[in-house]
Each structure stands twice: as structure tokens, then as C-alpha cells.
């Protein structure tokens, strides 16, 4: 389905970009086989481009989520060399249309790359196109040269054997800390790192073998991983096909693909890639030109969405829009809403970052959630706080912070944008983990009356201050208590605790159980002292660790709370430990709702757990705001 054009691309362009990078980034929807793909065009801000473009092909699954920041930096660096660079989300990944269960994934992804190359040539005006691919993105790039004329390839840790890749994803699934419940029906799909590789896609990818490829382009750079010995088999194969091939080992691969809050941008590897690409582009005698920005398409896309819900199989027509929430600071988000229904009488749901993962959320949870809520009649905004995802900060030291103090400023700016541009009168804040913390403290400190409720999913803390970590007391101690006391209730784990084989050892296990009551008494005593002080609240981290006081502030503002906990997660234990009396009173008054999801881990990485969470949130919002369409039985 073609995109619905309602506003020009300049509506979200970073007008002059940041002075520190000199890069302009434009988000738009690129049509591929009738389906919209979210894409970003990176160009130099104040100078012409060369007519040789680069397409960045991301991996899929958890590797795409983890590598997002590094690939954005790579695109920026290429743009600073006057090389127009396109990055996009494959169909069924990121912010693009599609779901994990869609068939013909391999053929669809091949079509996506063909359409991206065609767009660079026909719409942007690039005479030549090169591709930089990471992992499976590199593999698809090689295959594309069997039918497309590509000038140069950069293959970063390419998947050379699809069967081995599928085995690797299967191993990740089976070695995960959280195992699927016995009641979960086997489907043959692989659920690795919170993402689903369906059975058909796994079979298609298993057939890939670059050693049997008949690809061709003039030049290639193979960027090997630094966590193992160099493998020159692909170089030899490509050389035999007529490629001119260079190969290097680049540091930082493992750090790049670490969990988002621990990931690091591999600066040296990016430098080496950009320098190599720049040399190849220069050798082709490029011509300078200034892009026609209207070619970027639209910031709106409409498509059919199949809800994640286990009870609603009818596809719904929804639309998404890329929005610039603010230019200074640079804040980006995606609005999702029903294509036809009137949403003005309902609150808008704002979904905040979980940890340092960008706005799609862990396992693409935020995409599934906002699209299901849109199918039920709600407008949603999934956004990046400043320094996360595509909300770029000029200060690199402030990038990728899990609990930024500026989060509350960003929430206020998002609400103001929705009020100004969409006439929104009511907002519901929602977040998982650190996003739950931001949603909670925003409700306690932001004075804008538009906030009517905060929905918290597996919060790990209700208090934060700069320099704090989750390993520090009291949060780390409470989390440890939850897990170890939970283990103590399972007979099979008694011996591990009492034999000293656990991380806390024999003395720690005994101390934990013996001091449980003492810890509670200390916390209650401290709580009474804190409650004698009434701090001045501002939209930032709280001054004092005063959960009862924060709950009181939310109640005084006339706001409600809903909390969703995985039964294996410590959030509920922390809540009851620090504010049991207040929690029970608010529940009895109907101002706080608690919901528990069985057989789920912290990020709801299994499809069955995610579906249960989405159904529970949708049901809650229907009961809270009756105009929300209920899930069909």
C-alpha cells in the first residue's frame, strides 16, 4: 500500500544538523513491494554530496537492536565525507511494516535491498552505489550483486554459512537464562534474544552459502571480527570470482553487539571502513550535486497490521508518522494511530526507552505494543530520549545513558508537542525498566495536567541519582533478595544456596535469610525520617529516596498508576518492601492496579509472554478508558 502523504520531509529534518557533526539526517518511508520501510538519509549539512551513494545494511534480530547506534555513527561519518548514506529497516524489523510471522522473509529482504538501490539511483540521483553490510546484512549485500551492479562492498563480520547462522540463533535460544514454560506449544520458530526467526525464514537462510556464491562487483573490503582467528575463505572465493579484495581485522566487534546499555561504538573500525570507502569513491571521479530533498518521500505511511493479540486475528489499518519532537534538544519519535478512527477523545500513550535500547524496544516490544493499541483506537508515540537511538546529542559523553536526568525535560517537550500539533489533552506515560522509572517520576514531578496515568512495566527502581548503578545498595540488595529468596522456595536450589555454590556463598545465604527482617526494619525507620521532610520537586531525578512521598505526590496530582510485573521479576518485591502500606491503600482506592504475568522474564522475550503482556495492557486501557476498542473474543 502506498504511503499517505500529509506533510513534507522537511517537517522532521534536522534543519542544519548539529554543528559538531555537520550532518543532516532525514527520516522517511521508502516504499518496497507496496510496504513502507523506515529509512534515514544522512548527508553533509552545508555542502554538496558526491553522486556516489552508500547503503548501510543492518543485521536482523537482536544484532540489529544492539548495532543500531554504531551503524548510525557509521552513516554520520560517511556523510561528513560528502557521501550520501542511506540506512533502512528491513521489512518486519525496526520501524518498518511487517511482523515476525510473515512468510518469504528472504525474498522480501532481497526486494528491499533492490528497491533501496533503485531509490538511490533514480530518486536521489546517485550515479554509483556501494553497500556496507553487517552480519546478515553483509550476506544479503553479496547476494544482491548477482543481479545488481554495485560498485563496492564492505562486508563486516559477514554470515558466510546460513546453516551455521541458524544453529547459532538456536543455541542462543536454548542457552538463554529464561527457558520457555512446559505449557508453551512448540512452533519450530527460533526465539533468540527476544526476536523471532520463523520456521520458514530459518529454512530459507539455511540455504545461504557465500562459498557457492556467483556474486560480482569490482572491489570488496572484508572486515573480520577481532574475537577469533582470521578466516580467509570468503576472500579467496571472491577473488576467484574477479573481485579486488582487501581484508582487515577490526577491534570492537563484541563491544558493539553487547547489550545496548553496555555497547560501545567501534571507532577504529568505523574509521577504517570510512577511509576505505572514501578512497574507492575518490577513484571513481565523482561529481558533486545538491540533493532535491523532496525526493525523500513522506514522513507518513499507512499499512495493515496483524495484531500481536492472541484473541484478535483481524488486521487493522493503521498509520505511522516520523516526527521531530524538538530540534533543540534533538528528539525523535514515531506516532502510531488508527488510519480512520477519531482519537481526539482518548489519551495519547507515550512509550519511553527501555534501558539504552532505541525506541523499538527490546524484542521490538514497543512496536508490537503501539501498533496493537493503535488497532484498538489509541494514538501512541514511541520516542527516544536525548542521547538514545535517533535523538542525537552533540555531547558524546551524554550518549547512551540509561537513566538520564534530562528524561523529564524530554517528556515535557513531547507532551507540549502533542498538545500544540495534535490538540492532545490527556497523556498516559508508559515504560519498561528504566522507562518505567521515568514514567513514574514524571507523574510525580511534572506539573503539566495532561498526564493522567503512568503504566510501569517491570520497574527495577523508583529512585535514581547521577552516579548510581543497579548493583549498588539498596537496589542491588533488594534484587538479590528477590532472586535468592525465590530460589530458597525451590527445593532443587536449596543445596546450591546452603552449600555455598551460589554467588553469595554460604555465609551470604545465611546472612540474607537472617537479616531479612532487620533490613525491613531499617528501611521503615529511614522511611519515617524521610517523610518528615517535604522536598521541593522539580522535573528531574528526585532529591530523596521517598517512594511513599512520590506516591502521595502522584495521588495529589489526581493521577493513577498501573504496574505490570513478570512473576519472576523483583519489582513487586521492591515496591512492597519500600511502600507496602501506601500501595495497599492506593489499590483499595482504585488508584493503583497491579497485574502479574506468569512465565515471563524481565523484557518479555518469549512471544507467549509478550502476547500476554500486550493483552493485559490493552484490557486495562479498555477498562480505564471505555472508548478504547476491546480485544475481540
Are 71 and 153 within one domain?
yes
> What does the pLDDT read at residue 199?
93
Is the full-model pTM beyond 0.85?
A: yes
Instruction: Report the alpha-carbon distance of residue 556 to residue 177 in Å, rounded.
Output: 41
Q: How many domains does the chain have?
A: 2
Are 310 and 290 within one domain?
no
Are 104 and 239 within one domain?
yes
Instruction: Report the alpha-carbon distance of residue 97 to residue 35 in Å, rounded.
Output: 6
CATH number (domain holding residue 309): 3.40.50.1820
**Final residue before a domain boundary, out of 296, 327, 355:** 296
Are 78 and 132 within one domain?
yes
Are 265 and 370 within one domain?
no
**Final residue before a domain boundary, out of 241, 269, 296:** 296
- Residue pair 332/413 in contact (Cβ under 8 Å)? The answer is no
Do the domain assignments include residue 576? yes
- Residue pair 325/332 in contact (Cβ under 8 Å)? The answer is yes
430 Ramachandran zone, left/alpha/beta (phi>0; psi -120 to 50): beta
C-beta neighbour count of 132 within 10 angstroms: 30
Instruction: Report the alpha-carbon distance of residue 155 to residue 135 in Å, rounded.
Output: 8
Do the domain assignments include residue 482? no
- pLDDT digit string (tens) for 374-416? 999 999 999 999 999 999 998 888 899 999 999 999 999 999 9
Are 464 and 416 within one domain?
yes
Angstrom distances, CA of residue 164 to CA of 158, 174, 202, 282, 574: 12, 15, 11, 37, 42
Are 271 and 304 within one domain?
no
The number of C-alpha atoms within 13 Å of 301 and in the hemisphere containing its C-beta is: 26
- pLDDT digit string (tens) for 593-606? 999 999 999 999 99
In degrees and rounded to multiples of 5, residue 19 shows phi and psi of -65, -25
Are 249 and 327 within one domain?
no
> What does the pLDDT read at residue 471?
62
User: Beta partners for 383?
Assistant: 333
Cα 382–Cα 384–Cα 388 angle in degrees, nearest 5: 150
- pLDDT digit string (tens) for 239-277? 999 999 999 999 999 999 999 999 999 999 999 999 999
Do the domain assignments include residue 520? no
Mean pLDDT, the chain, as a whole number?
86
Are 241 and 337 within one domain?
no
Are 304 and 157 within one domain?
no
Query: Range of 389's domain?
Result: 300-470+536-624
SS (H, E, C) 92-151: CCCCCCCCCCCCCHHHHHHHHHHHHHHHHHHHHCCCEEEEEEECHHHHHHHHHCCCCCCC
Cell of 133: 553490510
Do the domain assignments include residue 511? no
pLDDT band for position 494 (cuts 50, 70, 90): very low
Given a cut of 50, whether residue 20 has pLDDT beyond it is: no
> What does the pLDDT read at residue 557?
96
Do the domain assignments include residue 9? no
Angstrom distances, CA of residue 198 to CA of 99, 566, 607: 10, 25, 11
Nearest Cα to Cα of residue 338 among 385, 374, 389, 380: 374
**Final residue before a domain boundary, out of 280, 296, 312:** 296
Do the domain assignments include residue 563? yes
Do the domain assignments include residue 251? yes
Q: Using N-to-C axis directions, what is the helix angle for 475-488 and 491-498, rounded to 10°? A: 120
Do the domain assignments include residue 561? yes
- pLDDT digit string (tens) for 283-294? 988 999 888 878
Instruction: Report the alpha-carbon distance of residue 77 to residue 98 in Å, rounded.
Output: 30
Are 32 and 142 within one domain?
yes
What mean pLDDT comes out for the span 338-362?
93
Are 461 and 584 within one domain?
yes
Amino acid at each position: 500500500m502506498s504511503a499517505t502523504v500529509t506533510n513534507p520531509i522537511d517537517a522532521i529534518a534536522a534543519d542544519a544538523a548539529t554543528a559538531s557533526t555537520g550532518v543532516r539526517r532525514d527520516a522517511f518511508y521508502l516504499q518496497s513491494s507496496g510496504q513502507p520501510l523506515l529509512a534515514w538519509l544522512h548527508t553533509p549539512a552545508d555542502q554538496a554530496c558526491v553522486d556516489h551513494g552508500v547503503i548501510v545494511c543492518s543485521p536482523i534480530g537482536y544484532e540489529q537492536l544492539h548495532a543500531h547506534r554504531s551503524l548510525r555513527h557509521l552513516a554520520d561519518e560517511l556523510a561528513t565525507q560528502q557521501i550520501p548514506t542511506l540506512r533502512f529497516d528491513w521489512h518486519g524489523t525496526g520501524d518498518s511494516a511487517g511482523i515476525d510471522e510473515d512468510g518469504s522473509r528472504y525474498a522480501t529482504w532481497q526486494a528491499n535491498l533492490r528497491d533501496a538501490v533503485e531509490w538511490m539511483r533514480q530518486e536521489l540521483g546517485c550515479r554509483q552505489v556501494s553497500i556496507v553490510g553487517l552480519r546478515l546484512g553483509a550476506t544479503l549485500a553479496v547476494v544482491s550483486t548477482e543481479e545488481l551492479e554495485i560498485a563496492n562492498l564492505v562486508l563486516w563480520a559477514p554470515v558466510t554459512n546460513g546453516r551455521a547462522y541458524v544453529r547459532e540463533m538456536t543455541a542462543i535460544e536454548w542457552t538463554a537464562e529464561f527457558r520457555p514454560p512446559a505449557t508453551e506449544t512448540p512452533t519450530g520458530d527460533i526465539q533468540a534474544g527476544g526476536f523471532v526467526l520463523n520456521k520458514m525464514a530459518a529454512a530459507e537462510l539455511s540455504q545461504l552459502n557465500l562459498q557457492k556464491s556467483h556474486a560480482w562487483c569490482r572491489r570488496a573490503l572484508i572486515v573480520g571480527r577481532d574475537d577469533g582467528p582470521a578466516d580467509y575463505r570468503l576472500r579467496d572465493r571472491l577473488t576467484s570470482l574477479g573481485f579486488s579484495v582487501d581484508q582487515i581485522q577490526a577491534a570492537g566487534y563484541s563491544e558493539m553487539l553487547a547489550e545496548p546499555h553496555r555497547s560501545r561504538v567501534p571507532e577504529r573500525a568505523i574509521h577504517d571502513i570510512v577511509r576505505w570507502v572514501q578512497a574507492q569513491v575518490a577513484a571513481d571521479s565523482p561529481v558533486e550535486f545538491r540533493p532535491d530533498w523532496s525526493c525523500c518521500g513522506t514522513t507518513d505511511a499507512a499499512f495493515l497490521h496483524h495484531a500481536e493479540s492472541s484473541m484478535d486475528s483481524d488486521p487493522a489499518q493503521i498509520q505511522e508518522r516520523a516526527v521531530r519532537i524538538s530540534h533543540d534538544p534533538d528528539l525523535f519519535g514515531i506516532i502510531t494511530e488508527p488510519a480512520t478512527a477519531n482519537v481526539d477523545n482518548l489519551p495519547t500513550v507515550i512509550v519511553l526507552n527501555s534501558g539504552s535500547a532505541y525506541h523499538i524496544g527490546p524484542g521490538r516490544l514497543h512496536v508490537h505494543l503501539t501498533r496493537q493499541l493503535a488497532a484498538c483506537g489509541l494514538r501512541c508515540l514511541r520516542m527516544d530520549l536525548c542521547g538514545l537511538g535517533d535523538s542525537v546529542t552533540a555531547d558524546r559523553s551524554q550518549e547512551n545513558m540509561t537513566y538520564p536526568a534530562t528524561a523529564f525535560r524530554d517528556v515535557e517537550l513531547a507532551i507540549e508537542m502533542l498538545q500544540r500539533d495534535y490538540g492532545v489533552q490527556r497523556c498516559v506515560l508508559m515504560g519498561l525498566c528504566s522507562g518505567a522509572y521515568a514514567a513514574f517520576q514524571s507523574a510525580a514531578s511534572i506539573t503539566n495536567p495532561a498526564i493522567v496515568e503512568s503504566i510501569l512495566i517491570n520497574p527495577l527502581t523508583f529512585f535514581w541519582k547521577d552516579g548510581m548503578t543497579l548493583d549498588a545498595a539498596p537496589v542491588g540488595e533488594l534484587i538479590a533478595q528477590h532472586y535468592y529468596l525465590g530460589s530458597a522456595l525451590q527445593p532443587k536450589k536449596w543445596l546450591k544456596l546452603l552449600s555455598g555454590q551460589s554467588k553469595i556463598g554460604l555465609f551470604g545465604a545465611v546472612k540474607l535469610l537472617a537479616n531479612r527482617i532487620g533490613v525491613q526494619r531499617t528501611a521503615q525507620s529511614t522511611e519515617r525520617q524521610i517523610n518528615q521532610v517535604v522536598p521541593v520537586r522539580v522535573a528531574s531525578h528526585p532529591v530523596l529516596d521517598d517512594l511513599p512521598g512520590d506516591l502521595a505526590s502522584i495521588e495529589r496530582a489526581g493521577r493513577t498508576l498501573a504496574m505490570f510485573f513478570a512473576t519472576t521479576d523483583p519489582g513487586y518485591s521492591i515496591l512492597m518492601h519500600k511502600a507496602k502500606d501506601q500501595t495497599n491503600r492506593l489499590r483499595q482506592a482504585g488508584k493503583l492496579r497491579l497485574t502479574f504475568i506468569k512465565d515471563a522474564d524481565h523484557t518479555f522475550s518469549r512471544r507467549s509472554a509478550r502476547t500476554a503482556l500486550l493483552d493485559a495492557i490493552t484490557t486495562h486501557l479498555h477498562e480505564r478508558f471505555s472508548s478504547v476498542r476491546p480485544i475481540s473474543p
